[in-house]
Structures are given as structure tokens and as C-alpha cells.
Amino acid sequence: MKIAAYLLSTLLILPLNSFAEMSPNDIVKKADLKRGLGNISHSFNVTVSDQDNKKEIYHVAFKDVNHSITEQTEPERARGRKLLMRDYDIWLFTPNIKKALRISLEQKLTGQVSNGDIARTNYAEDYEATLLPTDKTDTSNVYRLDLKAKNNKVTYGKIEYVVSKKDYSPIEATFFALSGKPLKRAKFQDFKPIQGMSRATKMVIQDYLQKDKVSTLVFSEHRPESFSDSLFNKERLEF
Amino acid sequence: MIFKKFIFPSILIATFIVASTEVRSEDWRYQMRGNLSARLSSYTQEKSRNYAQQTHAQFEHSTEFSPSLVAINQLRWTSNSIASDLSTKSTPAKKDIFDTYLGENYLKYKSDNWVVQLGYQEVVWGEAFGFNYADIINPKDQRETLYSEASEARLPLLLFNGKLFFSSGDLSGSMQLLVSPEPRFSKTLPVEIYAGNLIPQSSLTVIKQKSPAIFKTTEVGGKLAASYGGLDLSLFTYSYLSRDPHYSLQSADLSNITVKEEHQKIQSYGLSLAKTIYDFVFRTDIVQTRDRMINYVAETGELLSLPTTSLNALLSLDTPTYNDYSGVLIFAQSTLGEVRPNSFRSKNEQYVIGKLSKNLGSDKTLELSYTHELEHTGQSVQSILSWPVNSSTDLKIGGELYFGDEQSNLKKLRNVSSIFFSLKNYFQL
């Protein structure tokens, strides 16, 4: 009787999807959760350094996938620079210009980092995924996914995404422009337990052609936090 | 009078002192920061005035009493030799400028749905940058704009600044009310820059008009702004004393002319738009101003002025970044409703501006800018290499050249054609 109860409980706690084939989009959703807290309201810091060890620090207020504010805190020359993301609209406020200006997602924030790399990182929201065919001799334990932009407002036209089969951890991504030109490659590293789940805390972005151009993003201090809707208003950035 | 002039700065400085000393609370947060910059130019046009200097300093103290209540106090210092470098006449004011003044000094209170700021502030409207017709609120130090960023030339204005935010679904926006009880005027370049060859006398005396005492004249305006579906739209109006002067003749003889500055009440109405299409950003600012006074020299030789309406419009297009290159294309036009012969300004001023920026890596950028003046053909070419040498210091090396027909506005600036070198240091204490 005890054995029967044990077997039954084991069956119940096993995730149902371990018996079913995961859809490519579900794989991407699971991988997204390994790169952030998902679509819950929270804040975190991002430290960006380049190949010359120049360092920039940003504080991100993330309400949901469509509402975030990124504020630069270092270096001193750029302190107070803010980036507001609302759906696919993005505005930049700089203290010397004294007003928020509409910009495009694709514009470079710093080094190899585009605005969308920090402000809009849930790939499942913006891209339609398909599994790339793998060679039968391919014994690597990874999913290879082709992510195509759902519309032309997103940061990239296409992403080739490599995700671990074992725990859906993102491993590598190659980003392409809408024209199909490869732009850069990113590696996801330093998985650490954050808010009850192992998540990547480091993203290394390398220019696709000029391999010596590298930007490293380190994510830290994730904490759940609620934000008022009125905070995500272009007209409020100057305050 | 003196008491009235300094009443608000005194209140704000008292707030700063109180915040910094007597009733310092453990919960309050303080920050002292600032920047120092110096620029050395070597003129390429006239050997007699071979070098010019420009220096700036700003010290800022912020006190956060609570997440809702913040005080900002700034002190600024500037010096430059641009006015004397540009002047072609002998004027008593032809000397280098050294100014120490209070920058932004205000109290800010913000709640979820509204913000109020009271004190000396800078408020910028419009969607364009680099050439901003809608930047009408604050006076400017126009002795500097040829050289420096608009942010360094903007002068703070005493304002009640209230903003109410709204949001509904995909629509978000704000309503803003501005009231200034103490108008201030721009600091202008020598009058002969605008008058060209219309003033034949070899020396010129300008009697400045003092800005009105506090509460003698009130300026009022507001802005309604909304963002929806990838479009930003704002409508605004401001009733104010003209920031730029017109001149009335006081006396004249064969060698000297004395004129007096005057500023009259004007009203501006404007519309700004910005729209993203693919990775391009379109911007436009349109501003109509009524009752602007434009000087002209009558057939009798008298210096007179005429009230007219001006319509300024700007269209710009930001290109996406491609292979580390990005660009901006701007068309700007300023039209006066009516002008008389021998006017200090043309009826139409049109400019086409192209800017190309190349990211050289490690935040180094090379910017090339070409401005073409259409009505009277004039050209300007500028290039700047920006180099952040470390986390707190920026180096800039560049050059600018102005040329064209004698009547063109850009040719009037030929004396500032130069190569330059500048350093700017940012600090936090």
C-alpha cells in the first residue's frame, strides 16, 4: 500500500509536459524565465562593461514586459539618463537635453548593447519560435530554435537561440537585423538562484564580425517591487 | 527693490542651508555633484584675434527629504570671449564675459499622478533637438550657443511648474501649467551681427533694458501632450516678454549711434509631433509667434521697428544605426508675416542640416555636420571628435567653418570659424 501511494504521488508531481512534446514557443517561455523574473513587477541592476573595462551601471524598474524604465547611475557624466519602454515605443531622457525624445529600439545604448537588450528581453513575447532540424548524429543536449520577429517593431529580425534540454537554460543567441545580416552573438552565463529559480546573471555580447568588440552585462539585485502606471509616462521622465 | 529681486533666491538658498545643517534628518539623502569644462579655440579668419577661451563650472547640491520632496540648488560660473570675438565695431561692451549666477534652484514635490516644481527652472518643449524652435520658455545666453550645447546656454527662469499625468489603455499624456512672475531676457550677441552693414557708424552704444521686478509682469502658458500608437503629439502656448530685444534709436552722429533695448509682450502657439516608422524617427515642431518686433532702417535713416507674426517650422528625420553610422536630416524654415526694406532680418530663413555620426568604439564618436542656408546662400561645416578619456573626463577636438554670401546669417558668423580643443570633467562629492 505504501509503495502504491509513493508511485501515485510520484506520478502526480512529475510535470505533465515531461510526457508531452514541448512546443518551441513554450521552450522560449521557459528560457525567458531563466534570464529574468518573467512578467512580474520587479527591479534589478545591470552593470555593463566593455573590452576596455569601461563600466556603466543601470537600474531597471520592470512593471511588465511592456512597461519598463532604465535609469543610468554610473558613470557620473551619464547619471540621470533614462530610457522608458512602453509597448514598442521607447523614449530617451538626458539631463542636458531636458526632455524625453522618441528613439528606436535598435539604437545602441552602449557598446554592443541595444536599447532592447535591457528594456525588452522577453523573446516569447516578440518572436515566433520554430525548432531547427538537428542531425541525428547531434548528441548535444540542446534545443536549437529559430526565432522570427512577430512584427517589424522589435529589436531584431531574427534570433538563433540555443537552449539546454536539461533545464531550459539559455546558452547562446545570435541576433540578426531585419535585413538578415548577422549583428552579434550573446552567451548566457553565471546561473545563480534568484527568487527561487536558477537564472543567468551574465550576458556576454560579441560583435558578429569584429570579435574584439565585447560587452558584458551583469544582472544583480533582482527584487519584486510594484510600480504605479503613471510612472511609465513619457511626460514624467524629466521629473 | 533689491529685496524683491532676491526674495526667491534667498528663500531657496535658505532651504538649502536649512536642509544642509540645522535640521538634518537621518532619513534625508544628499548629493553634491558638478562639472568643469574649458575650451580653447584658435580662430582661422582673423590673425589679430587669434585665440579664444570658454570655461564653465556647475556645482549642484540635491537634498531628498523624502521620495516625494526634493530640493535642487545649483551655482554656475561661465567665462568666454565670444561677444568680443564676433563684434566688428568698437563698443563699450566689447570685453570678455565673466558671470557667476544661480542655476536651477527649486523644490519638487511629486505624487503618483502629478508633479509641482517651484523655483528657478529650465523647461524645454518640442520634439526636435539640435535646432529647436519650440525651446521658447527659458532665455538663453546667445553669446555661447555658437560654441556650446544649448544646455549650457539656457538660463533658468522663476516658474511655478505643475504637471498632471493621465493614462488610459495605450494612451498616456499630461497637462502642464507654467506661470512666471519674473520674466528674464536672453543675453544677446552684438547688435551689428543682426544689423549687418545697416549701421554705418563706427561705434555703437547699447542701453540694456533691465528685466522687470518680480510680480510686475506675469508670464503664463501650458502644454497638452499625448502619446498613442507610436505617435507623440503636443500642443502648447506661452504668453511672455520677448526674450530677444528690438532696438529704439536714442541718439546718433557720424561716428556713434546709441540704441536702447526693448522687449514687448508676445504670444507663441505651437505643435510638436514625433513618430517612429520602422527604425526611423520623424520629428516636427511648428511655432507661431505674434507681435514680434523687427527692426529696420527707414528711407529717412531712422531706426524703426515693425510688429509682425513669425512662423517657424522644422522637420527632421533620424536614421537607424547602420555599420556604426547614424544620421539626422533637418529642414528648418522661419517666415515673417511682413518685413520692410533694410530690415534686420530676412522675410524667410531656410536651412537644410545634415548630421552624420560614426561610433568609433569605446564611446568615441566622430560627428560631421553640414548646414546650408537657402535664402541667402550660406554654409557651415562642423566636425567634432568626442573621446571619453576616462569615466569622468571627456575630450573634444573639432573645427567649424562659416562662409557664404555677405547677406547670409552664416557668413555673419565667419569670425568664429575655428579649430578647438575642450576638456570636461564630471565629479561627485
**A74 in contact with B, Cβ within 8 Å:** yes
Q: Among partner residues A75, A77, A229, which is closest to B167 by beta-carbon distance?
A: A229
The better pLDDT of the pair B79, B356 is held by B356
Residues A144, A165: Cα–Cα separation, whole Å: 10
**Chain B residues within 8 A of A74 when measuring between CB atoms:** 391
* Residue B92 φ then ψ, to 5°: -60, -25
Which residues, at least 6 apart from B192, have a Cβ–Cβ distance to it below 8 Å? B87, B88, B89, B199, B204
Q: Which of A124-128, A134-138, B147-151, B250-254 has the highest mean pLDDT?
A: A124-128
Q: Are B297 and B281 in contact (CB under 8 A)?
A: no
Tell me which residues of chain A, numbers 7 to 26, contact chain B at a CB-CB cutoff of 8 Å: none
Say if residue B24's pLDDT is above 80. no
Position B23 scores a pLDDT of 53
> Could you report the per-residue pLDDT of B338-376, keeping only the tens digit for each?
889 888 888 999 999 999 999 887 778 999 999 999 988
Q: The CATH number of the domain where A154 resides is what? A: 2.50.20.10
What pLDDT score was predicted for residue A179? 81
* B281 interface with A at CB cutoff 8 Å: yes
pLDDT tens-digit map of B44-66: 876 556 777 888 999 999 999 99
- Cell output for B166: 493621465
Residue B88: all three cell numbers together? 566688428
Q: How far is CA A107 from CA A114, A117, B72, B100, in A?
A: 6, 10, 32, 38
Task: Please indicate whether, in this complex, the C-beta atoms of B172 and A107 are within 8 angstroms of each other.
Answer: no
Tell me which residue in A54, A89, A96 faces B363 most closely, judged by beta carbons. A54
Instruction: Give tens-digit pLDDT for B264-305.
Output: 999 999 999 999 887 899 999 999 999 999 999 888 888 899
Structural domains of chain B, count: 1
Percent of chain B with pLDDT over 90: 53
- Rounded to two decimals, what is the model's pTM? 0.84
Backbone conformation region of residue A236, classed left if phi is above 0, alpha if psi is from -120 to 50, else beta: alpha
Note down the domain range covering B174: 2-428
- Cross-chain residue pair A74–B391, CB shorter than 8 Å: yes
Of A50, A75, A233, the CB nearest to B362: A50
Residue identified by cell 544646455 is B151
Q: State how far the Cα of B14 lies from the Cα of A236, in Å rounded to an integer.
A: 28
User: Is position A5 within any domain?
Assistant: no
| Residue A123 resides in a domain | yes
Domain that holds residue A222: 22-234
Number of domains present in the structure of chain A: 1
The number of C-alpha atoms within 13 Å of A112 and in the hemisphere containing its C-beta is 25
- Which pLDDT belongs to residue B375? 83
Contact call for residues A70 and A82 (beta carbons, < 8 A): yes
pLDDT, tens digit (0-9, with 9 covering 90-100), for B199-224? 777 777 888 888 899 999 999 999 99
Backbone angles phi, psi at A30, to 5 degrees: -65, -40
Which ipTM did the prediction report? 0.85
Residue with the larger pLDDT of the pair A67 and B2 = A67
Can you name the residues that pair with B100 across neighbouring β-strands?
Answer: B77
Please give the residue of chain B at the shortest CA–CA distance from A98: B124
User: Which residues of chain B are within 8 Å of residue A105 when distances are taken between CB atoms?
Assistant: 279
CA distance B111 to chain A (A): 10
CB contact under 8 A, B320 and A239: no
* pLDDT greater than 50 at residue A67: yes
* Number of alpha carbons in the 13 Å side-chain half-sphere of residue B370: 6
Q: What is the pLDDT of residue B1?
A: 46
Q: What CATH number does the domain containing B222 carry?
A: 2.40.160
- CB contacts under 8 A, A 33-62 vs B, are 50-52, 54-55
Mean pLDDT along residues B112-126:
95
Q: Which residue has the higher pLDDT, A166 or A1?
A: A166
Nearest CA-CA distance, residue B63 and chain A, Å: 14
Of the candidates A205, A239, A234, the residue with the CA atom closest to the CA atom of residue A89? A234
**Chain B residues 330-389 with a CB less than 8 Å from chain A:** 359, 361-363, 388
Residue A76 lies in a domain: yes
Mean pLDDT is lowest, of A11-25, B95-109, B203-217, B317-331, for A11-25
Bridging pattern class, strands B203-207 and B256-262: parallel
Higher pLDDT among residues B303 and A136, named by residue: B303
In a domain, A175, yes or no: yes
Which single residue is written with the C-alpha cell 557624466? A77
Instruction: Using the CB atoms, write b or e for A61-93: b if 16+ within 10 Å.
Output: bbbebbbbbbbbeebbbbbebbbbbbebbbbbb
Round the average pLDDT of chain B to a whole number and report it.
86
Q: Are B56 and B78 in contact (CB under 8 A)?
A: yes
Q: Which of B362, B276, B393 is nearest to A107 (CA)?
A: B276
For chain B, give the number of residues.
429
* Chosen from B149, B177, B276 to mutate, greatest number of chain A CBs within 10 A: B276
pLDDT tens digits, B253-271: 888 888 899 999 999 999 9
Any A CB within 8 A of B318 CB: yes
Beta carbons of B165 and A96 less than 8 Å apart: no
Q: A97 and B359: CB-CB below 8 Å?
A: no
Scanning A90-129 for CB atoms below 8 A from B yields 95-99, 101-108, 110-111
Please check whether residue A198 lies inside any domain of the structure.
yes
CB-side exposure of B36: number of CA atoms within 13 Å?
3
